[in-house]
Amino acid sequence: MSMPFYVAPEQQMKDKADYARKGIARGRSAVVLQYEGGILMVADNMSRTLHKISELYDRIGFAAVGRYPEFENLRLMGVRFADVRGYQYDRRDVSGRQLANIYAQTLGTVFSESLKPWEVEIVVAEVGDTAAEDEIYRITFDGSIVDERGFVAVGGSSENVATVLKERFVADAPLSAALHTATRALARENGEERELEAGNLEVAVLERARQHRKFRRVHGRRLTALLEEGRAGGDGAAGASSGAAGASGGGSNSDGDSSGDQADE
């Protein structure tokens, strides 16, 4: 009589985690970061119909990487929860923290009880009335939840992306400068510099000054103009910094983008 095959629980958890990480790493990254007008969400995404970034509720956005059918199920679950709670109680009773906790519980249950974990990593972001009230939560495949500050990168080679974000992130940067920071970080995902055009990007913002629903997508001519403005501002800042260093024998000079952002309407 053959002996039943036994695998230690610790080894099972490790194998599941390795499987999920490998699946997520095959995709391309997404970043979420604060800017002067709210929260910016950017994903490296060639598809025009399969979105990695979506709206969950009035002030709340959703970004995800990994297997599309799995994180789409999570998105729909969050939308249904928010709609029902907002209808039964009050729209102000729906929060990003609630949704993040529900996602964490769901992913944690799937990871511990199912043979195959979900290959997803998601971000729930809620824009507040002030920058200090903004909330960004990262939820991983095993149900772990992290309250991020300022910015977060998920999926792909997120360590490389996060390193660039850490070097370049400015919390009160204009939208064009924040978008330039995000695209530069995504362009260095695999350790090699590449150019990301508007057609490679999915971009949305949670705009603090916008009435009622804060979420809006940025695409088309508006996105192209922001990318060009960000590149021009970044090149100008680099040139000014080099010139100041040559004149004074050292130091640096950051040239902020003072052109402002126009409404996308």
Q: Does 64 have pLDDT greater than 80? A: yes
Determine the pLDDT at residue 7. 77
Rounded to whole angstroms, how far apart are CA atoms 66 and 22? 10
What distance in Å separates the CA atoms of residue 253 and residue 207, rounded to the nearest whole number? 29
pLDDT of amino acid 245 = 36
In this prediction, what percent of the chain has a pLDDT beyond 90? 71
Average pLDDT, the chain: 86
Kindly tell me if the per-residue pLDDT of 6 is higher than 80: no
- Residue 117 pLDDT > 80: yes
Window from 80-84, 153-157, 178-182 with minimum mean pLDDT: 153-157
pLDDT digits (tens, 9 = 90+) for 205-243: 999 999 989 999 999 999 999 999 998 986 544 433 333
The pLDDT of 81-96, averaged and rounded, is: 95
Q: What's the token pair of residue 241?
A: 């910094």
The predicted structure's pLDDT at residue 244: 36
- pLDDT at position 203, please? 97
* Higher-pLDDT residue of 258, 200: 200
Q: What is the pLDDT of residue 226?
A: 96
DSSP secondary structure of the chain:
-PPPP---HHHHHHHHHHHHHHHHHTS--EEEEEETTEEEEEEE---SSS-SEEEEETTEEEEEEE-HHHHHHHHHHHHHHHHHHHHHS-GGG--HHHHHHHHHHHHHHHHHHSSS---EEEEEEE--SSGGG-EEEEE-TTS-EEEESSEEEESSSHHHHHHHHHHH--TT--HHHHHHHHHHHHHTTTSS-----GGGEEEEEEETTSSS--EEEE-HHHHHHHHHHHHHHHHHHHHHHHHHHHHHTS--------S------
Return the pLDDT at 238: 41
The answer on pLDDT for 257 being more than 50 is: no
- Asked if pLDDT for residue 259 goes beyond 80, the answer is no
Residue 10 pLDDT grade (very low, low, confident, very high; cuts 50, 70, 90)? confident
Joined together, the tokens standing for residue 248 give 């004074």
Model confidence, pTM: 0.84
Give 4's pLDDT tier (boundaries 50, 70, 90).
low
pLDDT band with cut points at 50, 70 and 90 for residue 170: very high
CATH number of 9-219: 3.60.20.10
Residue 25 has pLDDT above 50, yes or no: yes
